[in-house]
Structure 1
């Protein structure tokens, strides 16, 4: 009897997602912009995939990475937003223990994959601007496939300990998660044990995912800017910089909310809880919505195909 009770005590059958604490009365109204963002995310990213697939002239490394980004954004938003809307619309707050672990794994895994895609895009822009004559010989299809596989494997492997660590801890305080979805640090905070291993590993992954990736991207763009400023004419410099502007915009829309959300969850004890929850939602919902818009507006090849598609 005691063994059975200990099993239930260690692994709760369900968690309760509280939503946005303090704003429960406004959940229905909050769901409206969330739903609009999700619809834009679905339409925008599927449009990018459709255009790249239909246009043979876009079958280049830059657009292959863009398709990877679109698929990652679709998975990332779909893994969380239906749970949020189910909570907001139908007050359905329960999520199974295994479902919660699966959700937190998908969130962190595809966030890491997206960060890796931005590194691959920075490499693509570096080769295109610093070694334009060797672009097609350096970034061959086999090289692109190996880079893509490495990005996916890195994201899958470094986040794999998250659900195993979360399953390892005993839970005895409460099964109420004061968030709209499951994330690693929010789940393990409910454990009645010393969770320093989970916390330290989370910081390690954060440093790998943001620190090392941002460092590599920064180093790439230092070389890119040096190559751009060596170009002879102003038009050539503007044209070269224009090919990088979309990438820079999506990098900023991804890393800034991610960094603020990660730091607020660990160190923002003075921040109101609903502010922390909204920040956690921003980095999951806003970049997947803005990425196809930014590339659709600022990339001439995609913009021209999009106009041609709607004209026909």
Structure 2
């Protein structure tokens, strides 16, 4: 018999969850929001707070022969638990499902998805809007780079920058390839997305300024709707151009000379490349009213 006060019609009218977390707070729907090499992201719901969330899930058995992938995932979750910045994706909960050999973690959901898809949907975007997005990305990077210890994202690109389009709020996510480095800010491993990787990343000896290079490439994509080095048909060709200092052809498609100059400053040689804090003080961005900080 149904328990006292239970109304079967309530269950029938409610959208069914595929699964619920151990506390009963979070539910997962079948809708897939995104999929990567390590994880799948589903639409979820926080029943306690009454808000949408992103339910990130990894089937660990798929990676038994790739411990590095599992380590990257655990690294992301560990980092997210300790970060607190309005331009970094928030982590709400994490647990391991031993029965199904899965790891799940709940993060905030950005209603408009990633910046790459959002920009494709909105092909007419002003330079002012690009500046506002840029300021927020740089604030997130400045937070990571001045964190103790310093955190390098290493895989910043438009597919892992997320946006709530109704308020124009931009947040950095997917820290699975990030690394915490020591006081000398030097790191020695090769990871990332080739089109966005700074030349020194290929040499496996770099600092947090590789994220500034990647940010410059993100701004290039935001400006042109073209992924950098799309003229190359192989990673080897991208590698050759990047390490030879050949800029992507898309740079010549940037119509605004100030935007182009700002991008070129970001993707310059490491010694000449500014920090996130320096870029936030650049006249190019200071021209924008700082209203986005109130979003």
> Same fold per TM (> 0.5)?
no
Which structure dedicates a bigger proportion of its chain to strand? 2
Name the TM tier (shorter chain).
under 0.3
Q: TM-score, normalised by structure 2?
A: 0.26
Which structure dedicates a bigger proportion of its chain to helix? 1
Greater relative contact order: 1 or 2 (C-alpha under 8 angstroms, separation 6 or more)? Answer: 1
Q: TM-score, normalised by structure 1?
A: 0.25
